[in-house]
Structure 1
């Protein structure tokens, strides 16, 4: 992965290639990649990841509510 060719797709592919079987980053990749980021950059990444996870969780919840309603259940929020 070269600096001038970093696109979201390339980054995702690289991250996936450097995951262990339990979906955590391999230690060498983690130390080389995350070790180059400042605390502020890591905190920014963490906030972005938390925001994306919360959005996805909300989507899953909404899908489950719609499923229950579709099958005749009354769902109160």
Structure 2
């Protein structure tokens, strides 16, 4: 998947444990673990907002994107064919 979760890097930079983050955000450790490993398919904006508030960061700090040509036209197809 071209969208990755960079939460571990942000946690390391903040010198915060995942357990502490889960407690402060109100997630279970299991839910946070699934997010950290990229095993979730979606996230509520309220969860993202809580993560950003606790970590004092922007949503883009928690996610990465790597272009993958095979994903073009997948979920959103506007009729434009990839070159």
Q: Which fold has the larger relative contact order, with Cα–Cα distance below 8 Å and residues 6 or more apart in sequence?
A: 2
Q: 1 or 2, which has the higher helix percentage?
A: 1
Compare CA radii of gyration and give the structure with the larger one.
1
State the TM-score, normalizing by the size of structure 2: 0.28
State the TM-score, normalizing by the size of structure 1: 0.29
